[in-house]
A = this chain, B = another copy of it.
Amino acid sequence: MKKLILLLFFAQNLFAQNVKRTDGAVRHEYIINNFKTESGATLPQAHIIYGTYGHLNAAHTNVVLLPSHYMANYHGYEWLIGPGKALDTTKLFLVATELFGNGRSSSPSNTPEPFHGPRFPVMTIRDNVQAVHQLLVEELKISHLRALIGFSMGAQQAFQWAVSYPTFADRIVATSGTAKTYGHGKVRLEGQIAALTADEAFQNGDYKTPPQKGLEAFSVVWAGWLFSQEWWRKELWRTNSPAGTTFEQVLNNYRTHFIPGADANNLILQMRTWENHDVGATPGFNCDAEKALRSIKVPFLYMPSETDLYFPLADARYEA
């Protein structure tokens, strides 16, 4: 499970250059005009970038949805994808969607005024799920999923799908993510935001050049949450570092190359999306997450990680 998390999280950042693309992803863009967000803003155009793998069968019954995690692009699940792999592209049609705010789907960095930069509306997980639902139904003519698999913020989307569209998928898998962001997650994410925005160069989001010190502080703060205390004590970073790599080099690599090229406002937008997530806020549940969770009818596989500091076992046990 630990390995799963590491691989998923770093898939596109660290290994992308070395992964042979035998999966045949096709890039797509879907545009929704006048997209109304839950916060009340209306984006003139909401763009969703997504990748597809394999072929949709005639009956449209072989679809698996893979909603992406924090700042990921659609390549994030590719270690699971390919002929003969868990997500077999000779049998399944995979749709891997990218969250608003990742810099490719509509984001603070790529949206015209009046929604550029810090003026981009806060998106919720429900906004993302609603947009992808529309993409599936209207664009791809898919009204049912064989499965939905989500990691981290992808798991947040998986929970939301299970509550918002209870019969849309035959089964849902959520790994390392919760149905609601509890206080600790908010404090942790606010710490990361505070570190990023302590940099004068951030200029309330209207920076002319990237707030480099803030981005580095954000990265080091996040690095503390990325692996368990035991992982660091056992120096498990040695297992995939070149021989002779030092702790200082590893730390410095996180400091300067955590999410290469990421835009500060995009990073913050997705943290706010994460923070605000609560399936209980779905219409009809009166902000009662437990009630929303009890409403789930679809076979749901929930896999937390024993060593996860973001989404610890105790939180998952509480939700299960």
In the complex, the chain B residue whose C-beta lies closest to that of A225 is B224
- CB atoms of A232 and B184 under 8 A apart: yes
- CB atoms of A184 and B217 under 8 A apart: no
Copies of this chain, tallied across the complex: 2
For residue A227, CB closer than 8 A to chain B, the reply is yes
* Per-position binary interface string of chain A over residues 192-225, scored 1 when its CB falls under 8 Å from any chain B CB and 0 otherwise: 1011111111000000000001101100111111
- CB atoms of B309 and A183 under 8 A apart: no
In the complex, what distance in Å separates the CA atom of A214 from the CA atom of B186?
19
In the complex, the chain B residue whose C-beta lies closest to that of A223 is B187
For residue A182, CB closer than 8 A to chain B, the reply is yes
For residue A113, CB closer than 8 A to chain B, the reply is no
In the complex, what distance in Å separates the CA atom of A247 from the CA atom of B185?
12
For residue A86, CB closer than 8 A to chain B, the reply is no
For residue A230, CB closer than 8 A to chain B, the reply is yes
Given contacts A184-B227, A187-B224, A187-B251, contact A318 B233 (CB under 8 A): yes
Residues of B within 8 A of A190 (CB): 220, 251
Grouping DSSP codes into helix (H, G, I), strand (E, B) and loop, the A interface class, with mixed when no group exceeds half, is helix
* Per-position binary interface string of chain A over residues 232-260, scored 1 when its CB falls under 8 Å from any chain B CB and 0 otherwise: 11010100000000010001001100000
* Per-position binary interface string of chain A over residues 26-52, scored 1 when its CB falls under 8 Å from any chain B CB and 0 otherwise: 000000000000000000000000000
- CB atoms of A233 and B315 under 8 A apart: yes
For residue A15, CB closer than 8 A to chain B, the reply is no
- CB atoms of B191 and A224 under 8 A apart: yes
Residues of B within 8 A of A187 (CB): 220, 223-224, 232, 251, 254
- CB atoms of B221 and A191 under 8 A apart: yes
Q: Indicate which residue in B192, B198, B233 contacts A184 across the interface (CB closer than 8 Å).
A: B233
For residue A228, CB closer than 8 A to chain B, the reply is yes
What are 15 A-B interface contacts by the 8 Å CB criterion? A183-B233, A183-B237, A186-B247, A186-B251, A191-B222, A194-B195, A194-B216, A196-B198, A198-B213, A198-B214, A199-B199, A229-B309, A229-B314, A233-B315, A233-B318
Nearest 10 Cβ contacts at the A-B interface? A183-B232, A184-B232, A195-B195, A191-B221, A200-B200, A194-B217, A182-B233, A188-B224, A198-B217, A184-B229
List chain A positions with a Cβ less than 8 A from chain B. Answer: 182-188, 190-192, 194-201, 213-214, 216-217, 220-225, 227-233, 235, 237, 247, 251, 254-255, 309, 312, 314-315, 318
